[in-house]
């Protein structure tokens, strides 16, 4: 008999520790990628808490374990979610060698994913805030090279993530009082305000996202992209758990309106600021802000499709950021900075990397036939029935991202006459970029391939979608 929390939390965490201290840098990405791929396949094909007969052997993955008085529980419904998380993590870890990122990215990345998986398994679930904070602490060594002073973006990131924890813990304590006396308006308002502030700090809701473009300018692109994928993903899942658990949160029109208002600001401002940037790293940061805003909007929907629309956006997001961050890392080796004036004409020297960046940008802008188009279409369909003004501001944000991709393409092809075309990327880099671009087109043209992953996810959130 195996144990689910040990398999999907302890195994990747211990593997990360071993890779950090004992194994060579060359083989670490291969081992980490293989481990998370196997875990994703197990989650997809072997149900938790169900006995399977393999010849004369009975195999069963038990769902829970006790650790220091806390229970960690992963049910059968968590299987598709674990498959999504570890499948996307495999993309990031396999791409590490091609990006030229340091060895500690793989080891610490495994530990971060393990801690964040623990955050969705821990009971009482409020302890998830502590685990998310621990994961944020592990991100710092990735963002700041040894013996280097941390930049403003790193410091603000750590401050905001740390401030989020007491707000969420205190709001959880107050929410218990709301459940006991739901008619007390003062406690309800206070609890909702505290909870909103906690998630605003965690997700970088407007105007608390100023650390994201700073970080995208200071830190290595691949590490920044990983951070912008992994933390918002688990925070959104944590937020869905809050909505599912407390009835008054789900049914409050004021809270739903506040969530949608925050999402509108993030999408519109992220898209507009992305279009105005002259640093492609900062542009990636603002594009990630706009996409997080779309996720916030999805959570604020007054619809039975909250869970489906949210996860339909979460999966392409991981691939888009991975492709963009990998291509940026390859180009960053050639130039001093990622300012536009340093990038002119690089399309002729790094054609595949530039193609990958433009397609990732277009996908985040919701361009047809790319991975970002189907989820945005589903969100627009839901929003159009609720508020045309909200749909308009989402359109403005996407238009800003489209303008940003057009400006980026213009800079990359701005080469001197008679400049020869050549392939500078290595075979490994070409392979990883090619697979990523193919993935963007597959998810865009055949979104039904995601159906096996998301069809059972609403079972995770029993009350949402009713």
Q: Average pLDDT, whole number, for the chain?
A: 83
94: in domain: yes
Angle at 205 between CA 226 and CA 405, to 5 degrees: 60
Residues 374 and 423 in one domain: yes
Q: Is-contact 300 294, C-beta < 8 A?
A: no
Residues 299 and 312 in one domain: yes
* 399 pLDDT higher than 90: yes
Residues 116 and 133 in one domain: no
306-332 and 78-94 helices, crossing angle to 10°: 10
Nearest to 277 by CA among 412, 415, 400, 413: 400
* 25 pLDDT higher than 70: no
465: in domain: no
Look up the domain containing 57 and give its range. 1-123
Q: Which residue has the tokens 């929390």?
A: 5
Coil, helix or strand for 54?
A: strand
d(C-alpha 297, C-alpha 260), whole Å: 5
97: in domain: yes
The pLDDT of residue 177 is 62
Residues 270 and 151 in one domain: yes
| pLDDT mean over 352-357 | 91
Residues 287 and 224 in one domain: yes
d(C-alpha 251, C-alpha 96), whole Å: 44
Residues 119 and 131 in one domain: no
Residues 288 and 154 in one domain: yes
Domain ends where: 69, 94, 123?
Answer: 123
Domain ends where: 94, 123, 152?
Answer: 123
The pLDDT of residue 55 is 63
Q: Residue 368 CB: number of other CB atoms within 10 A?
A: 11
Number of domains in the chain: 2
E strand or H helix that includes residue 261: helix 253-276
| pLDDT mean over 131-138 | 87
Residues 151 and 252 in one domain: yes
Residues 192 and 134 in one domain: yes
111: in domain: yes
Residues 189 and 94 in one domain: no
| pLDDT mean over 60-84 | 79
Pair of tokens at residue 431 = 């392979």
Q: How confident is the model at residue 401 (pLDDT cuts 50, 70, 90)?
A: very high
Residues 86 and 175 in one domain: no
155: in domain: yes
Q: How confident is the model at residue 56 (pLDDT cuts 50, 70, 90)?
A: low
455: in domain: yes
Nearest to 199 by CA among 283, 271, 292, 72: 292
Residues 211 and 311 in one domain: yes
Domain ends where: 59, 94, 123?
Answer: 123
E strand or H helix that includes residue 200: helix 185-203
Q: Residue 58 CB: number of other CB atoms within 10 A?
A: 10
């Amino acid at each position: 008999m195996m144990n689910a929390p040990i398999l999907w939390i302890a195994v990747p965490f211990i593997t990360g520790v071993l890779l950090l201290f004992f194994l060579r840098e060359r083989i670490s990405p291969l081992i980490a990628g293989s481990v998370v791929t196997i875990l994703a396949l197990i989650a997809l094909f072997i149900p938790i808490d169900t006995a399977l007969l393999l010849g004369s052997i009975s195999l069963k993955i038990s769902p829970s374990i006790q650790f220091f008085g806390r229970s960690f529980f992963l049910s059968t419904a968590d299987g598709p979610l674990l498959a999504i998380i570890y499948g996307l993590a495999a993309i990031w870890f396999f791409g590490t060698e091609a990006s030229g990122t340091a060895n500690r990215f793989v080891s610490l990345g495994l530990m971060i994913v393990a801690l964040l998986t623990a955050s969705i398994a821990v009971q009482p679930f409020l302890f998830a805030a502590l685990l998310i904070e621990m994961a944020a602490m592990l991100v710092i060594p990735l963002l700041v090279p040894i013996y280097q002073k941390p930049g403003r973006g790193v410091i603000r990131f750590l401050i905001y993530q740390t401030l989020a924890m007491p707000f969420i813990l205190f709001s959880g304590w107050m929410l218990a009082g709301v459940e006991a006396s739901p008619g007390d308006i003062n406690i309800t308002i206070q609890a909702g305000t505290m909870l909103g502030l906690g998630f605003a700090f965690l997700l970088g809701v407007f105007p608390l996202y100023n650390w994201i473009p700073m970080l995208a300018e200071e830190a290595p692109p691949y590490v920044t992209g990983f951070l912008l994928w992994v933390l918002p993903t688990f925070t959104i899942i944590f937020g869905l758990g809050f909505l599912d658990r407390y009835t008054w949160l789900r049914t409050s029109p004021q809270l739903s309106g506040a969530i949608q208002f925050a999402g509108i600001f993030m999408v519109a401002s992220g898209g507009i600021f992305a279009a105005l940037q002259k640093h492609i790293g900062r542009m990636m940061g603002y594009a990630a802000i706009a996409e997080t805003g779309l996720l916030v909007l999805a959570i604020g929907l007054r619809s039975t499709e909250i869970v489906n629309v949210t996860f339909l956006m979460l999966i392409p997001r991981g691939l888009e950021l991975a492709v963009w961050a990998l291509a940026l890392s390859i180009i960053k080796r050639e130039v001093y900075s990622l300012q536009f004036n340093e990038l002119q004409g690089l399309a002729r020297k790094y054609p595949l990397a530039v193609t990958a960046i433009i397609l990732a940008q277009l996908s985040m802008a919701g361009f047809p036939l790319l991975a970002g188009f189907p989820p945005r279409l589903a969100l627009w369909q839901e929003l159009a029935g609720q508020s045309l003004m909200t749909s308009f501001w989402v359109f403005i944000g996407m238009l800003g991202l489209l303008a940003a991709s057009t400006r980026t393409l213009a800079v990359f092809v701005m080469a001197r006459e008679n400049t020869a075309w050549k392939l500078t990327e290595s075979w490994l880099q070409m392979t990883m970029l090619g697979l990523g671009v193919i993935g963007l087109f597959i998810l865009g043209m055949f979104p039904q391939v995601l159906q096996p992953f998301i069809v059972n996810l609403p079972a995770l959130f029993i009350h949402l979608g009713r």
